[in-house]
Structure 1
Amino acid sequence: MRLVTIEDVRAAAAAIAPHVVRTPLLPFDSTLWIKPENLQPIGAFKQRGAVNALSRIPSADRERGVVAYSSGNHAQAVAYAAKMLGMRAAIVVPENTPQLKIDATRAHGAEVFVVGITERESRAAELVQERGATLIPPFDHFDVIAGQGTVGLEICADLPDVTAVLVPVSGGGLISGVAVAVKALCPNARVIGVEPELAGDAAASLRAGELVRWDAHDRARTSADGLRAEPSELTFAHIKEYVDDIVTVSEDEIFDAVRQIARRTRTVAEPSGATVVAAHLNRSLPEGKTVAVVSGGNLEPSLLASILG
């Protein structure tokens, strides 16, 4: 199986530069900086991989559009990228997707299909067959992983003596790309994934050395709706090769991290993005300069108010 390389990530950085924000590192405490991907135009890192993948679709195929399935942020990312590149997009989301993310996806001009939580991939496959469109999966895609890896490029450029990089884990596209870049450019840094305890399948898989599958309904229990997917063979191959460890955090720890991020950095993180700060605050991790990738900030205002209250 071919894995993404640092050259692929650098090529992605050039392709996406006009369409993404180069996010800064914001100080959280004396040893932690956050990488606020919630500052992207769609409010999440997913824009990087989506723009890279769509930009590489041959011109002859673009008129048939793209199809994606997603729990929310990839949906917005593909819709945004399609709008920027003049393509049609059809997005399939599970019924437990926050309405905020569904509305934002439609606002970018995409057609949205809401299905049962175990039906999103099959419905997307049907749409691809019906329309001859190109499928852009949320993480199981070489160009998506390379695009997400540009987060790691920026971290190593801004903090070359970084000791550890904390990355949320769901399907594994973000941590796969980030780990490729960090291990190439900052080889002494540890790359550590973070999952909710209620969706800790990737942590279990890394311990077992093979993919361990959790039922979708079990993974759906976590409030971190962006971390309910499971790694693919492609992303798990990257995780086994480049990731040092994966830790899990509780729901209460995640909510406390949302509050801490808001108070200390004046930014909004959704529960999925706050997991990394929860790990910094509550787990024994490597000492030294650490970067936590806050992957997104798209959460319902009512949920944010209840957490902050």
Structure 2
Amino acid sequence: MTSHINHLITAGRKSYALSIRQLYNSMADFNRHLDIPFADIDVAWLRRYELFLREKRLAENTIGIRFRTLRSIYNLAVEENVASPDSYPFKKFKVSKLHQETAKRALSKEDIERVLSYKSTNRYMRFPIDIFAFTYYCGGINFVDIAHLTRANIVDGRLIYKRQKTKKLIKIPLQPQAVALIDKYREDESPYLFPILSAFHKTEVQQANRIHKVITKVNDRLKQIGESLNLPITLTTYVARHSQATVMKRAGVSTAVIREIMGHSSERVTQIYLDSFDNEQVDNALKSL
């Protein structure tokens, strides 16, 4: 596990490396140490570990992530002949049962408009709304990717960037609203499009810490805005990402195209987003019967 973590960090896949590190720490807490052969991790061991996680009062999806990560590590070990396929426990222990329906994270176009037109005497509330708007108008671009955008990412009226998470190249046309936001925050002395990172943040650790600090404040303020607007869900930058996807889906855009715009690794990931939306379209379709 530690070897794979180091490999992922070298490859720039820090989020996945963190997920494995969390699993590592959790398993070590449960088993006291991990100096054990893969064969010891049988169905009975997995059931005891599941009970341990439940006693920790972890959410169902968090437990599911722990087991999916463990299964992927076990699969890798089998591929590299470190573990025997004869001892593979996940044929009997089904990880798929550890799944909870994702809560709805998409807003209607009407509610999105209410967020974008929100007025406040607190000037610090404007930046979170502008980031929410930029996310919405730019295909659900992730906050981490927004933070790294520079003037070099704008080519012939298009936003061209590589996703930090999947390394997938994204090319989307810049809508007038997005251009206006870029112009609003333009600073000649900074190469970045938005005031999140600066020349001071040179190392990856400095950049990661700064991004975490800013997105925490942004989401805290978005939550306050959402509560004041009496929105049906907690407002975050991720809601903008989900919302633009559901708006496109309702407009008849195919899942394959939405996948390209959002930079997902596969259509299966995009479908997870779409599956978390409400049943309004299904309800309306059945009414026509």
TM-score clears 0.5: no
Larger % of helix: which? 2
Larger % of strand: which? 1
TM-score of the aligned structures, taking structure 2 as reference length: 0.28
TM-score of the aligned structures, taking structure 1 as reference length: 0.27
Q: Which has the higher contact order (CA 8 A, sep 6+)?
A: 1
